């Protein structure tokens, strides 16, 4: 029976699974997006989201150092910890959670495994600005108004064009 067993073991022992997630988290922090299997991406999301939250909760210098040490105990990579606290943390400071996004990419040809891309939400320029970034408010237009204006302008020009061709 698997009562209350919510962790996905990913077909590995505990030490191997922790090393895998630590390495994947370091690579995600360094590169801002990685491609992996869907199961590993879902496991990585639950692993990295609390670490990103630790970068935001700091009131005193002792608390900041304590959070650095806790995150380092998970990642074991100084450069990734530094990147997390200096680049990723300030960018997601206003976001209340949900720092990562998983996008399904289809199946892998070799073994039919589901592939997925996991990325930080605020570091993707394709999908627009994140919540944490301030930008000028977008100009709001109603679709029906845009259609109406577009249809009026050719109608207004058409009679003038017909008159000029009729006089010739």
Per-residue pLDDT, 146: 56
Percent of the chain with pLDDT over 90: 64
- Euclidean distance between CA atoms 92 and 124, whole angstroms: 12
End-to-end CA distance of the chain: 91
The residue ranges of every structural domain in the chain are: 14-135
Residue 13, SS3? coil
Using alpha carbons, select from 10, 14, 2 the residue that is nearest to residue 41: 10
Q: Tens digits of per-residue pLDDT, 24-68?
A: 999 999 999 999 999 999 999 999 999 999 998 778 899 999 999
CATH fold, domain 14-135, is 50s Ribosomal Protein L17; Chain: A, (3.90.1030)
Question: Which residues make Cβ contacts (< 8 Å) with residue 132, sequence separation at least 6?
Answer: 91, 92, 93, 94, 95, 122
Contact 32, 16 (CB under 8 A): no
The residue whose two tokens read 């990685």 is: 34
Contact 84, 51 (CB under 8 A): yes
Per-residue pLDDT of the chain (168 residues; tens, 9 = 90+): 889 988 899 999 999 999 999 999 999 999 999 999 999 999 999 999 999 999 987 788 999 999 999 999 999 999 999 999 999 999 988 999 999 999 999 999 999 999 999 999 988 877 755 454 455 555 666 776 555 555 555 555 555 555 555 554
pTM, two decimals, is 0.72
Question: Which residues make Cβ contacts (< 8 Å) with residue 47, sequence separation at least 6?
Answer: 21, 24, 25, 74
Contact 77, 21 (CB under 8 A): no
Per-residue pLDDT, 25: 97
């Amino acid at each position: 029976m698997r009562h209350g067993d919510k962790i996905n073991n990913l077909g590995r022992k505990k030490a191997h699974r922790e090393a895998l997630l630590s390495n994947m988290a370091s690579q995600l922090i360094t590169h801002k997006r990685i491609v992996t299997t869907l199961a590993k991406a879902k496991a990585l999301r639950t692993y990295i989201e609390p670490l990103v939250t630790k970068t935001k909760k700091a009131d005193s210098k002792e608390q900041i150092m304590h959070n650095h040490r806790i995150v380092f105990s998970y990642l074991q990579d100084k450069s990734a910890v530094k990147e997390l606290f200096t680049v990723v943390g300030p960018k997601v400071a206003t976001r209340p959670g949900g720092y990562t996004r998983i996008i399904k990419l289809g199946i892998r040809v070799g073994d039919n495994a589901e592939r997925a891309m996991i990325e930080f939400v605020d570091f993707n320029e394709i999908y627009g600005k994140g919540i944490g970034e301030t930008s000028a408010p977008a100009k709001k237009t109603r679709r029906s108004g845009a259609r109406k204006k577009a249809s009026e302008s050719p109608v207004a020009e058409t009679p003038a064009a017909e008159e000029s061709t009729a006089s010739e």
